[in-house]
Homo-oligomer: A and B are copies of this chain.
Amino acid sequence: MKKLTQILTVATVAFFVLISSANADEYVYKQSFMPRETVKIDLAKTAMFVTDPQNDFLSEKSPAWGLVGPTVIKHKVVEKEKTLKALAKKIGIPVFYSTHMYTPQDFANWKSLNGIDKIMFENKMFAQGTWGIDYHPELKPDSNTIVMNPHKGLSNFWTGDAALQLRQYGIETIILYGMSANMCVESHARDAIENGFDVIIIADATAAAGDAAYEAALTNYEFLAHEVVTTNQIIKRLEKAKRGE
């Protein structure tokens, strides 16, 4: 207990020092007791990892727009995803796409639906072969995008090929963002860590179904991630990063 109290004290002091000196670009941790780390980025072992860059989360006509639209707009999620995708190509690191998909038979037959499933199934979101499952028009995959198997549930590590694909490309660190903050982004973060990957989460390149959901995600990211960053912060870091150092 003594040790943690010391950590808390040091952390609290560090926290105020941080606030006073902080670069405006930097993510400011909400929980002062969380240890901070600046992950060393080796471009040869790093990838962007994007969850659900699809119309049903990012386009105005989505049935979920009433829930997620406000933060998607406020955080400029589409613009940031577009910028990060272009940057990845420029600096030569791959972008992994983890998409969401349900078949007509999933909708018709699944018997066990949790809260978020019920919303998605009621609205037939991410339905195979529909507009909703298409990539947002500004975020279509290109030669630098690795499209993995689609996921059911919330994480490609359980119902897709994420672990194998990342390993096949020699990736050890993922820079994670996309939709939605406390659902697929957070589940991918949890599972990436269970598989031994380093995880950097971009706190402002994601959005959620309401402020409570977004704030919950941030709180948990600080526990789960190796580092939480802002889009501006990681862009600067990536522009200076090297390969194999």
A5 interface contact, C-beta 8 A: yes
Of A149, A150, A166, the most chain B CB neighbours within 10 A belong to A149
Q: Do A4 and B123 contact each other (CB < 8 Å), given the known contacts A163-B196, A164-B196, A194-B159?
A: yes
How far apart are the CA atoms of A85 and B37 in the complex, in Å? 36
A140 interface contact, C-beta 8 A: no
Q: Which of A14-22, A59-67, A76-84, A229-237 contacts B (4 or more CB under 8 A)?
A: A59-67
Q: Do A194 and B63 contact each other (CB < 8 Å), given the known contacts A31-B210, A219-B216?
A: no
Copies in the complex: 4
Taking a contact as CB atoms under 8 Å apart, the answer to whether A182 and B219 are in contact is yes
Taking a contact as CB atoms under 8 Å apart, the answer to whether A154 and B194 are in contact is yes
Taking a contact as CB atoms under 8 Å apart, the answer to whether A62 and B1 are in contact is yes
How far apart are the CA atoms of A169 and B101 in the complex, in Å? 18
A8 interface contact, C-beta 8 A: yes
Q: Give the residue of B34, B105, B161, B165 whose beta carbon is less than 8 angstroms from that of A115.
A: B34
A70 interface contact, C-beta 8 A: no
Q: Give the residue of B2, B113, B119 whose beta carbon is less than 8 angstroms from that of A4.
A: B119
Minimum C-beta distance from A244 to chain B (A):
11
Of A5, A115, A163, A217, the most chain B CB neighbours within 10 A belong to A115
Taking a contact as CB atoms under 8 Å apart, the answer to whether A147 and B1 are in contact is no
How far apart are the CA atoms of A123 and B217 in the complex, in Å? 25
Minimum C-beta distance from A104 to chain B (A):
10
Chain B residues, CB < 8 A from A63: 1-4
Taking a contact as CB atoms under 8 Å apart, the answer to whether B223 and A183 are in contact is yes
Chain B residues, CB < 8 A from A101: 149
Which 10 interchain pairs have the tightest Cβ spacing?
A: A167-B196, A216-B216, A158-B194, A159-B161, A216-B219, A35-B118, A110-B168, A116-B223, A153-B194, A149-B149
Sample of 8 more A-B contacts, CB < 8 Å, known A111-B168, A112-B197:
A4-B119, A33-B67, A115-B222, A116-B223, A149-B159, A155-B190, A159-B164, A212-B219
